[in-house]
């Protein structure tokens, strides 16, 4: 297919495709799906080899958010039966982070619901960052606390934060239909504040909220212009008790086409498969590893992910390897630019997997499908189930019964009842 050959050539040169080419990827047929995955996989391997970076979420403060983001189980007025608790103490957060690091996570993402942090909240988070870094040498820390005020990004950077996450989520044109308590421009400004402070910027999207192909392309091109080091791609988990509860629009094939489009538009950026992968990709998750180079390990903010060991088995079975702490995630030209070394030329083809670079941890950041205007990271939830136990298999285990193609898979959504904010061990 001429389109795919063109996109591979552009991706290997870090050349931006046209909007028409990006739209054409989303319009490809299921018959061409494996060709699309194979083509985008060539670009992924050029810049990231067969490495998969593992990230681990710690939900510092859950629920009771004053923002009204339609997709969020923590939103104002949400009736989703999620865990609700105030700030974890630094030692509690450090203990939770250690479980993820022990499971293979290279980055810990610290997330808190809310519009944005107060200065006192930043004080809490800086102590938490220091506690985590003291007990887990070499771990990267990403903060995800919502809209930032002047000087807060600098304080987080001084405390040892490596990255900051804040997602655009959807196109500027449709943003007002999703959230009314803050603006698209507010989100852009926060990402730019993080970049100005020397933090590795992480910003992504949520697919499946009823948006058009044009909206998807618009937000991905906006992200490309913003130039974050990491782009998390979330797939909407339609929470019962939220305005988007009936939006079950995604198929595994559609998800793969979206990931391929993001990879072609952002060839040398860390593309992270984030919230909703177990629900919408299901048994096709391993194919996504040919497109993304980063995932979350175990559970999300308010929903359970598949078992942490299942994540590791999936990576190994698909022929990929977990990225170690001694490896810089980003290609050398991006890592050098992040550390002040300047960006390489557009046609440069630096080898991926360079080690020993002076970046703040080599890019990354957390994902987002939750926490509205405040800290946003992938999550899930639906209804008020019976409390889970550590032995529960989690949301990634399909039901035994056959489910018709295209049917809503509410059976794959389980509210998190373990890990941070509970007395049960985390899933990592």
Angle at 207 between CA 205 and CA 210, to 5 degrees: 130
- 150: how many CB neighbours lie within 10 A of its CB? 7
- Residue of 69, 144, 376, 379 marked active site: 69
Q: How many CB atoms lie within 10 A of CB 41?
A: 18
How far is CA 29 from each of CA 125, 253, 285, 421, rounded to the nearest angstrom? 46, 9, 19, 44
418 has catalytic annotation: no
Note if 255 is an active site residue: no
Task: List the catalytic residue out of 75, 142, 254, 257.
Answer: 142
Active-site position among 14, 44, 50, 65 = 65
CA triple 104-109-111, angle to 5 deg: 145
Residue 272 catalytic? yes
Which residue in the list 14, 44, 50, 72 is annotated as catalytic?
72
* Listed residue (142, 188, 150, 198) closest to 168, CA to CA: 188
Cβ partners under 8 Å of residue 294, min gap 6: 52, 53, 54, 55, 230, 270, 271, 272, 273, 329, 364
| Burial environment of residue 423 by CB neighbours within 10 A (0 to 12, 13 to 18, 19 or more) | exposed
Say how far apart CA 45 and CA 272 lie, in whole Å. Answer: 15
DSSP one-letter string for 58-100 = EEEEBS--S---TT-TTSTT-------B-PPPHHHHHHHHHHH
CA 413 vs CA 211, 302, 385, 428: distances in Å: 22, 10, 10, 18
**Contacts for 361 with CB less than 8 Å, ≥ 6 apart:** 107, 140, 162, 163, 200, 329
Asked whether the beta carbons of 206 and 236 are under 8 A apart, the reply is yes
379 catalytically annotated: no
| Residue 51 appears among annotated catalytic residues | no
Tell me which of 202, 255, 266, 376 is the catalytic residue: 202
**Residue 357 among the catalytic residues:** no
Catalytic residue among 124, 187, 272, 416: 272
Helix (H) or strand (E) holding 296: strand 294-296
Q: Give me the catalytic one of 109, 255, 266, 366.
A: 109
| Residues designated as active site | 65, 69, 72, 109, 142, 202, 272
């Amino acid at each position: 297919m001429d389109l795919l050959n063109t996109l591979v050539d552009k991706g290997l040169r870090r050349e931006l495709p046209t909007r028409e080419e990006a739209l054409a990827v989303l319009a490809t047929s299921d018959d061409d799906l494996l060709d699309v995955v194979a083509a985008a996989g060539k670009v992924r391997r050029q810049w990231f080899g067969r490495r998969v970076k593992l990230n681990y979420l710690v939900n510092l403060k859950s629920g009771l958010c004053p923002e009204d983001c339609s997709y969020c189980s923590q939103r104002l007025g949400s009736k989703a039966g999620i865990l609700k608790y105030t700030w974890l103490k630094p030692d509690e957060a450090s203990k939770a982070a250690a479980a993820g690091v022990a499971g293979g996570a290279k980055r810990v993402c610290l997330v808190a619901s809310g519009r944005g942090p107060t200065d006192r909240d930043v004080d809490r988070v800086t102590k938490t960052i220091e506690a985590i870094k003291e007990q887990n040498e070499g771990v990267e820390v990403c903060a995800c606390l919502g809209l930032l005020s002047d000087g807060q990004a600098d304080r987080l950077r001084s405390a040892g934060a490596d990255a900051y996450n804040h997602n655009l989520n959807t196109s500027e044109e449709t943003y007002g239909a999703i959230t009314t308590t803050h603006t698209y421009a507010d989100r852009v400004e926060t990402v730019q504040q993080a970049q100005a402070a020397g933090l590795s910027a992480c910003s992504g999207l949520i697919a499946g909220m009823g948006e058009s192909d044009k909206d998807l392309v618009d937000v991905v091109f906006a992200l490309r212009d913003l130039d974050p080091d990491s782009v998390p791609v979330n797939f909407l988990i339609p929470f019962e008790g939220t305005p988007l509860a009936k939006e079950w629009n995604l198929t595994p094939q559609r998800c793969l086409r979206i990931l391929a489009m993001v990879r072609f538009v952002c060839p040398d950026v860390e593309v992270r498969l984030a919230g909703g992968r177990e629900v919408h990709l299901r048994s096709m998750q391993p194919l996504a590893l040919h497109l993304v180079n980063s995932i979350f390990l175990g559970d999300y903010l308010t929903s359970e992910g598949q078992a942490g060991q299942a994540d590791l088995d999936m990576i190994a079975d698909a022929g990929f390897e977990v990225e170690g702490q001694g490896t810089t995630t980003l290609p050398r030209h991006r890592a050098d630019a992040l550390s002040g070394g300047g960006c390489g030329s557009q046609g440069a083809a630096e080898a991926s997997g360079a080690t020993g670079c002076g970046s703040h941890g080599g890019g990354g950041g957390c994902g987002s499908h939750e926490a509205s205007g405040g800290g946003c990271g992938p999550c899930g939830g639906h209804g008020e189930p019976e409390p889970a136990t550590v032995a529960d298999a989690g949301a990634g285990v399909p039901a035994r019964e056959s489910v018709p193609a295209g049917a809503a898979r509410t059976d794959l959504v389980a509210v998190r009842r373990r890990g941070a904010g509970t007395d049960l061990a985390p899933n990592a």
